[in-house]
Amino acid sequence: MIDRTIVILIDALGFALCRNRGFAPAGLDHRARIRTVLGFSQAALATIFTGLAPAEHGLWMMYSFREEGGPLRWVRILPRSVSARRRWLRRLMAWNLRRVHGVRGYFSLYDVPREVLPYVDIPARGDIFAPGGAAPARTIFDRLAEEGIPYRVWDYRSDEERSFAELEEAAAGGRERFLLLYAAGLDSDLHRFGSGDGRVAARLEGYRLLIERVAGAARRSGGARILVLGDHGMCDVRSRIDVMSRASGLGLSIPGEYIPFYDSTMARFRTLSAPARRRLEDLLADVPGGRVLGDDEMRSLGAGGAGGRFGDVVYLADPGVVISPSHMGEGRVAAMHGYHPDTEEMHSVMLANEPLPGRELELAAVAGTIYPGFVPGVEGAP
Ligand SMILES: [Zn+2]
């Protein structure tokens, strides 16, 4: 392990955004473009920390399917009149998932409807920012803990301003050998305002100043490798498609014939019969603004083949198109991610104060870059 490393992970820090906005903190002269993975932040963060593709670390999407009933199957016994939007029910479900099923990481029940809730599961049980967070896949935090390297992490639970102030202090103190700060403010600004908004520019300018302060503190106390990176980029939203009412118009039953799950850029379906699958695929072939991903394409994207717990049929929206309504809530968004990783705006960026292994990196290569010598692997796997 190198002397001292400081990693600043800014959610949605895209390559195109940085280039267009001239984001260039002083001293971080080395830059690489990173190809992200298909999926949302959970998939990307798990890939960053494990060095594995989503199909290998198993945390591709926040929700998977379980037609026999998942941790929330008890919701089935509630009277039909109880809406899943009721505050007490949402609190009870969250409590149940955390206390009974041991979900430690970030999840949100958003607007997953009553008839779907009993048949979903949350594969991410651990806290991805802590050792054991992707078990049985190993993360850089497992390695840090095993090697007894003093380290400190600030994640989505800590206030961003305070996190940066504490990081600056830690960089000046020089006790820890590995410091990692995760910031979600830019992601949230981009969703709300879009990439062209002045508030996004102001957020980036704020980050530039904070990063330069951290770098200055590190320099004055013996120096450190500094790496600033994003997990994915972001596309401004230009149109919406309604997949939900078309699919439910087929009149297929849940969970007898299918279970749908609508993320904001992906509609995923577990199909329980061949005719149901065929009807869905025929229908989706005619829904403009996206397409069904083939089995081979899913595999080449590292998301595993279609079929099984994340869905048998996966419809991916075109860049800039949002699936609405969805199970992610009704709020309007100005920008979104979760598109095909080859989309120009989906690439993220890495900035560093020392040379990087290349100008084009895969997201899975990040683990070995921020933690040289890290060997990705799954416990119990050959
Ligand atoms: Zn986001």
**Any idea what the CATH number is for the domain that residue 225 is in?**
3.40.720.10
Residue 289 and residue 146 in one domain: no
Low-confidence spans in the chain with pLDDT less than 50: 1-2
Half-sphere exposure (Cβ direction) of 245: Cα atoms closer than 13 Å = 4
295: closest CA among 55, 41, 37, 56?
55
Of the candidates 109, 21, 23, 111, which has an alpha carbon nearest to the alpha carbon of residue 70?
A: 109
3-state secondary structure of 362: strand
315 and 172 share one domain: no
Ligand 1 center–CA 328 separation, angstroms: 11
User: How many A from CA of 109 to the centre of ligand 1?
Assistant: 15
Query: Using one digit for the tens of pLDDT, what is the confidence trace for 312-350?
Result: 999 999 999 999 988 887 678 999 999 999 999 999 999
How far apart (Å, rounded) are the C-alpha atoms in residues 315 and 108?
22
> How much distance in Å is there from the Cα of 211 to the middle of ligand 1?
21
Taking residue 354's Cβ as centre, other Cβ atoms within 10 Å add up to 11
Task: Indicate the average pLDDT of the chain.
Answer: 91
What is the whole-number distance in angstroms between the Cα of residue 41 and the centre of ligand 1? 7
For β-strands 335-336 and 225-229, DSSP reports them as unpaired
Q: Do 137 and 51 have their domain in common?
A: yes
Range of the domain at 352: 5-56+127-235+341-370
Look at residue 94 in the predicted model and tell me its pLDDT.
80
In a domain, 377, yes or no: no
| 296 and 320 part of one domain | yes
Same domain, 345 and 327: no
What is the 376 CA–ligand 1 centroid distance (Å)? 26
Q: Report how far residue 39's alpha carbon sits from residue 48's, in angstroms, rounded to the nearest whole number.
A: 13
What is residue 159's predicted lDDT score, i.e. its pLDDT?
94
Residues 6+ apart with CB under 8 A from 289: 239, 241, 317, 318, 321
Whether residue 134 contacts residue 128, with contact meaning beta carbons closer than 8 Å, is answered with yes
Shared domain check, 263 and 216: no
Q: Could you give phi then psi for residue 183, rounded to 5 degrees? A: -125, 130
Q: Do residues 113 and 201 both lie within one domain?
A: no
Provide the pLDDT for residue 107: 66
CA 171, CA 25: separation in Å to the nearest integer?
Answer: 17
* CA 309 / ligand 1 centre spacing (Å): 23
220 and 249 share one domain: no
Based on the fold, state whether residues 273 and 286 are members of the same structural domain. yes
Torsion (CA) 288, 289, 291, 297 in degrees, nearest 10: 160
pTM (2 decimals)? 0.92
CA of 136 to the centre of ligand 1 (A): 26
When divided into structural domains, the chain yields a total of: 2
User: What is the model's pLDDT at position 117?
Assistant: 86
